[in-house]
Amino acid sequence: MRIADDLQRQIESGKIPPGAKLPGELELSEAYRVSAGTVRRAVRELRERGLVATLAAKGTYVVDQAAE
């Protein structure tokens, strides 16, 4: 998935550092010009890859890979 791959590159390069909160669905959908459903699928893919964790009512954060 293009969005998930792009966000993964940003995470791995340190552009989005460990502990950082990802932009919200609306911001990502506008940035990538896709629907909110597409953004949700991309974030789910990142969770499945172990790169982010979503906290209810708080947002989605980059996981610190070094801590695991």
Question: Can you read off the two tokens belonging to residue 1?
Answer: 């998935």
CB of 23 closer than 8 Å to CB of 37: no
CB-CB contact of 20 with 61 (8 Å) = yes
- Residues of the chain where predicted confidence (pLDDT) is lower than 70: 67-68
Rounded to whole angstroms, the Cα distance separating 36 from 24 reads 10
Task: Output the pLDDT for position 67.
Answer: 59
Say what the pLDDT of residue 65 is: 78
Determine the pLDDT at residue 68. 55
pLDDT at 1: 80
Angle between helices 25-32 and 2-13 (to 10 degrees): 110
All structural domains of the chain, each given as residue ranges with its CATH number in brackets, are 2-54 (1.10.10.10)
Tell me the pLDDT tens digit for each residue of 2-21: 999 999 999 999 999 999 99
